[in-house]
Amino acid sequence: MEARIAPSVPAKTAIERLLLAELDPDEGADAVDRLTSLGRLGAQLVLQRAIEDELATFLRRARY
C-alpha cells in the first residue's frame, strides 16, 4: 500500500536538507543558488500549507 503524505511534506523535507547542508561563504555562486532555492521552497511551503488549511476549512475536516 502506498503511503499517503500531505503535499507540503516534500517541500518541508527539501528545506530541512538545505538547512542541514553547511553554507560555506567561500562557495560563492553555489551558496547563492542554495539560498535562492531555500527562498523558493519556503514560499512554496507557505502557499501549500495555506491551500491545505483552506481545503480543510472548506471540507470541515482535517486531512486524516
The pTM of this model reads: 0.76
Nearby residues of 8 by Cβ (< 8 Å), 6 or more positions away = 45, 48, 49, 52
Q: What is the pLDDT of residue 2?
A: 72
Spatial separation of the C-alpha atoms in residues 11 and 37, rounded to whole Å: 11
Interval 2-19 mean pLDDT:
89
- Per the rule left: phi > 0, alpha: psi between -120 and 50, beta: everything else, 4 is beta
Q: Is pLDDT above 80 for 4?
A: yes
Spatial separation of the C-alpha atoms in residues 6 and 50, rounded to whole Å: 12
Question: What are the grid coordinates assigned to 49, written together?
Answer: 500549507
11-44 confidence digits (pLDDT tens) = 999 999 988 876 555 666 787 888 899 999 999 9
